[in-house]
């Protein structure tokens, strides 16, 4: 605001100077009427200048106001620092908690690593302890499942049959227990073979899939095959 009063004061000074010169010129030219009018304008400009100057002085913020603002700002900053700064007890408690959490995390990671190493060691020992014939039965079972799409029961019978692989029942059971196969998909692939190569009906394919003289799939596996046969 005081800038506005300063500008008005400067403009009024210019007006005083201009009207003052005009007043002198009018009186020198003996034009009293115009001279008096210029003199009145000059007086008005002087009045405006005085008022604007006084307002300018009043509007300028005093040093005490600046001091109060600075004191208030400093107090606010100090209060914020007090609120954000931790006490020694708070720092100690926070550090203790962080140390405890880190120790727990390290302990958990160590236990997980030990458990994994133990599981791997047990798996390795178990694999080493499996008889060669058991491993061979599993390999043969995987071959039948992946290339001939046989059922679980069909593979077991083939592994133990004296006209087939002639493995002992224990080896064949180990193979069946450890083979990873989607038996539903095997039933579907076998059904597709019957449908494409022998043009069999759905009912005939179903019977062939579940027959003990056929593929020996379960009823659920056979139904899955029929439901998804294209």
CATH number at residue 169: 1.10.10.10
Q: Do the beta carbons of residue 8 and residue 53 sit within 8 Å?
A: no
Q: Is 201 part of any domain?
A: yes
Q: Is 74 part of any domain?
A: no
Neighbouring residues of 190: CB distance < 8 A, sequence distance ≥ 6: 149, 150, 151, 209, 215, 217, 225
Same domain, 153 and 120: no
Q: Is 185 part of any domain?
A: yes
* Number of structural domains found in the chain: 3
Provide the mean pLDDT of the chain.
85
pLDDT score at 67? 55
Same domain, 138 and 202: yes
pLDDT score at 47? 76
Please say if the pLDDT value at position 181 is more than 70: yes
From CA 117, how far away is CA 47, in angstroms rounded?
Answer: 99
Neighbouring residues of 74: CB distance < 8 A, sequence distance ≥ 6: none
Same domain, 213 and 154: yes
Please say if the pLDDT value at position 45 is more than 90: no
Q: Do the beta carbons of residue 116 and residue 178 sit within 8 Å?
A: no
Please say if the pLDDT value at position 2 is more than 60: no
From CA 149, how far away is CA 144, in angstroms rounded?
Answer: 7
Same domain, 124 and 159: no
pLDDT score at 140? 98
Question: Residue 60 — pLDDT band, cuts 50, 70, 90?
Answer: low
From CA 217, how far away is CA 145, in angstroms rounded?
Answer: 12
Q: What is the DSSP letter of 50?
A: H
Average pLDDT over residues 179-197: 97
Same domain, 136 and 57: no
Average pLDDT over residues 109-135: 87
Higher-scoring residue by pLDDT: 214, 7: 214
Q: Do the beta carbons of residue 81 and residue 75 sit within 8 Å?
A: no
Indicate the SS3 state at residue 187.
helix
Same domain, 143 and 114: no
Q: Is 71 part of any domain?
A: no
- Extract the tokens encoding 219: 């009823």
CA dihedral 99, 104, 106, 111 (to 10 degrees): 160
pTM over 0.75, yes/no = no
Q: Is 72 part of any domain?
A: no
pLDDT score at 204? 98
Please say if the pLDDT value at position 182 is more than 90: yes
Same domain, 160 and 110: no
Same domain, 138 and 179: yes
Please say if the pLDDT value at position 12 is more than 90: no
Higher-scoring residue by pLDDT: 197, 47: 197
Same domain, 166 and 195: yes
Q: Is 10 exposed, middle or buried (0-12, 13-18, 19+ CB in 10 A)?
A: middle
From 111, 129, 147, give the residue that closes a domain: 129
pLDDT score at 183? 98
Domain membership of residue 93 as a residue range? 81-129
Please say if the pLDDT value at position 227 is more than 70: yes
Q: Is 69 part of any domain?
A: no
């Amino acid at each position: 605001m005081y800038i506005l009063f300063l500008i008005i004061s400067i403009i009024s000074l210019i007006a005083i100077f201009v009207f003052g010169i005009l007043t002198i010129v009018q009186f020198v030219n003996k034009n009293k009427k115009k001279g008096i009018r210029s003199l009145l304008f000059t007086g008005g400009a002087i009045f405006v200048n005085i008022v604007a100057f006084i307002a300018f002085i009043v509007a300028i913020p005093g040093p005490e106001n600046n001091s109060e603002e600075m004191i208030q700002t400093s107090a606010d900053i100090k209060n914020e620092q007090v609120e954000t700064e931790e006490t020694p007890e708070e720092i100690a408690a926070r550090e203790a908690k962080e140390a405890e959490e880190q120790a727990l995390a390290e302990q958990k990671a160590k236990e997980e690593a030990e458990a994994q190493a133990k599981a791997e060691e047990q798996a390795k020992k178990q694999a080493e302890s499996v008889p060669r014939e058991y491993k061979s039965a599993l390999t043969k079972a995987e071959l039948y499942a992946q290339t001939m799409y046989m059922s679980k029961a069909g593979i077991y019978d083939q592994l133990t049959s004296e006209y087939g692989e002639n493995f002992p029942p224990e080896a064949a059971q180990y193979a069946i227990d450890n083979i990873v196969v989607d038996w539903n998909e095997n039933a579907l692939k076998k059904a597709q073979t019957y449908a494409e190569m022998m043009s069999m009906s759905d009912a005939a394919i179903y019977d062939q899939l579940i027959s003990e003289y056929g593929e020996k799939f379960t009823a659920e596996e056979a139904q899955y095959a029929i439901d998804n046969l294209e």
